[in-house]
Amino acid sequence: MENEILCIIVELKINPMNKGFIPPAIFLLLMFISVDCHKKPDEPQIVTYNTFNQIKLNGAGQSSEQTFSLPDDVDRIKKIQMYVRLLCPSGGCGAWDVYANVLVKDNNSGLFYEMARYITPYGRDNSSTDRGFVFDVTDFKSLLSGEVTLRIFTEVWTSQGWLVSVDFDFEYGTPDYRYYSIAPVMQYNAHSLAGLPYGEATEMNVDFKVDVPDEAEETSLRTIISGWGHATPEDTDGRPCAEWCFRTHNVLIDDQVTFIHDLTGLGCEENAVPAQFGNWKPDRAGWCPGMEVPVRKDILTLPKAGQSFNLSYRLENWTNDFLSLADNKHAYYAVSMFVVVKSDIPVQPASISQNP
């Protein structure tokens, strides 16, 4: 409102018809006032940062790691959007739909956190979209500040591959909360077959204790899941696991089913990258070739500030009979899960420990 009043006065000042209307002392004061009167009060201010620029990833080098300078005033950031553009190198794009992601380094722990996951198109780039794949990565804004190390990964094994570029839009404005923190619960996601084995015994932990900091005003879970493998027995409609079989995963808070993750079809035929050179139209279990893998955001009813809770992740019952004719007879769910805590005062990350 104050800026709107100033803009009216400035308009009076610069309008020649109003000469002599405003006293000289006020004119002198207005000479030192700078107000953007052409910008609407609710218009977002977006600043774009370019990071990786057409980095070639293929069988000779599946990942790249670089450090970039990003804003350090993240308490003023309302939203961060990340864009991943894929182009074809000379010789063409990779022929297959493969697992790929973008990660950010936590300088305190030295660990890389998965911000986003996507599946490459069959043999095509994603220039049919405006700026490539788009992801909301605001949950990671405490890490996307100052000198930031990022890693891009694409699980391609051939000499063909993709030229990968990553840009960020930082939107300034009034955030829901000024400060965020983020902590990993589990990251079974180094590659597509590094996930939780499905239908067989595993020593990978899925039971945790979460200690929430005192400052928490909102606590949520951020999860990315994609299923891989062609294990049997197939479902009655002929779908092997875990790429094709539709399943339900349960998130338990203090032994109660609190959130449900349905890994069903996303409508792959409506893909933003059409006319791929492969079997891109049939629905997979929660992902599609040439699309972003969905982020599943679950907000706790109460933030549980200063409290602890038990967190468990349960896959739907199914038993692998290991009779698949595929080279790999196993099924996997590549999973990453984080606890995100928000507050209007600086907030520490939640503390995560394994439950026996």
Residues making up the chain, counted from first to last: 356
- Local structure of 318: helix, strand or coil: coil
Question: How would you classify the pairing of strands 112-119 and 99-105?
Answer: antiparallel
Dist CA 258 CA 267 (whole Å): 26
- Local structure of 74: helix, strand or coil: helix
**Known catalytic residue at 270:** no
3-state helix, strand, coil in the chain (%, to 5): 10, 40, 50
**Known catalytic residue at 43:** no
The active-site residue out of 97, 125, 139, 167 is 97
Dist CA 135 CA 15 (whole Å): 46
The active-site residue out of 106, 155, 167, 292 is 155
Q: Which runs of consecutive H residues, i.e. helices, occur in 139-250?
A: none
Question: Under a CB-based contact definition with an 8 Å cutoff, are residues 172 and 47 in contact?
Answer: yes
**Known catalytic residue at 292:** no
Closest CA to 333 of 205, 242, 202: 242
Dist CA 280 CA 122 (whole Å): 7
The active-site residue out of 125, 215, 243, 292 is 243
Closest CA to 314 of 285, 337, 283: 337
Residues noted as catalytic:
97, 155, 243
